[in-house]
Amino acid sequence: MAAAATGGAGPASSSRPLLAGRKRGSGAAMPGAAGLLLPLLLLLPGLAALEPLSVGLAIGVASALTGYLSHPNFYCSYVECCPSAGHRLNATALREQLDERLFGQHLAKEVVLRAVTGFSHNPSPKKPLTLSLHGWAGTGKNFLSQLLARHVHPAGLRSKFVHLFLATLHFPHQQQLQLYQEQLQSWIRGNVSACPYSVFIFDEMDKMHQGLIDAIKPFLDYYEQVDGVSYRKAIFIFLSNAGGDLINKAALDFWTSGKEREEIQLKDLEPVLSVGVFNNKNSGLWHSSLIDRNLIDYFVPFLPLEHKHVKMCVRAEMKARGHAVDEKVVEAVADEMTYFPKEAKIYSDKGCKTVQAKLDIHEDIAVKYTNAKD
């Protein structure tokens, strides 16, 4: 894929189709003892002139050394390797990071935590884990998907086992739909062959051509193997703004009726969300067999963010920059955001998406003011 897809072969620009997928190894092949033994022996001067006992001793030492160097624990400390079969996701660490940095999304946190923990601890899942995250921009969909990827593969988006697809970049041309479908299948097949624990993130699903995503249906279904490859331990994540209006309406209805947003449960949103996305021509999942066959395990709603949540985002960003939290700046940045509905101004229409840019301006003003005083 392109650079966004973590360093694999892929299109050089959005004007070119996705390159044909190829099988990708889990890094350079681990060298065997024989592969390392020959160069080591060549480094021993006058080896041919030594007594047989000395030669045998030298070969024994070289074999022991190469055995140590080729041991998986040593090798994988320098080269990224696919996780072993006993790999388990650290749910406690994931929860702590979500609590610290994902705000106003009690539903998304709980659903994803339960889903990935259960999947990670299941030694024989029946199908890959498939999550579809929905909500307006700036509510945390990208953040959660990338954080989850880092807990499976510590290098995150830089990992060769994590693959990010952007609809407008990797699949730009409607007339090349069949080519994209073939290449997408080949790419996924090759990468899962190299690492069963591969993670695939599909962003901008609402901009994806209709029918494209159905190409991966065989990989998400309840098959033990497809053409000799098992996909059951892979994770697929779809990100979409589609359904955001439905989620916002439900949240506003709860607010209007005097209920707390934390009272909203998955059962209040998931059925209407799945139906709404299935019937939305701009969802990328319009009349998709993935929904029709119930292959998406969870439709995860991301609620619109309130003023207090935007302030949490500002504080977190200031801390991430190593700055002391200035509540005046926090309040100023939050107040500059635009909110809906117009009368009540409850929810930020951009979530926390522009917090960084607005904070840049306020911090620049603060620095200039400080310098002027000095």
Specify binding-site residues for ATP: 135-142
User: How far apart (Å, rounded) are the C-alpha atoms in residues 320 and 114?
Assistant: 27
ω into 154 cis (within 30 of 0): no
Q: Pairing mode, if any, of strands 347-348 and 339-340? A: antiparallel
Output phi, psi for 172, to 5 deg.
-80, -25
Output phi, psi for 129, to 5 deg.
-80, 125
Binding-site residues sit at 135-142
Residue type, 343: E
Output phi, psi for 225, to 5 deg.
-150, 155
Residue type, 35: G
User: How far apart (Å, rounded) are the C-alpha atoms in residues 352 and 329?
Assistant: 15
Residue type, 108: A
User: How far apart (Å, rounded) are the C-alpha atoms in residues 82 and 14?
Assistant: 29
User: How far apart (Å, rounded) are the C-alpha atoms in residues 181 and 343?
Assistant: 46
Q: Which residue has the tokens 């200039």?
A: 368
Residue type, 361: I
- Say if CB 334 and CB 137 are below 8 A apart: no
- H-only helix segments in the chain: 33-42, 52-69, 72-75, 91-101, 106-120, 141-152, 167-170, 177-194, 217-220, 244-256, 266-278, 289-292, 307-320, 327-336, 355-373
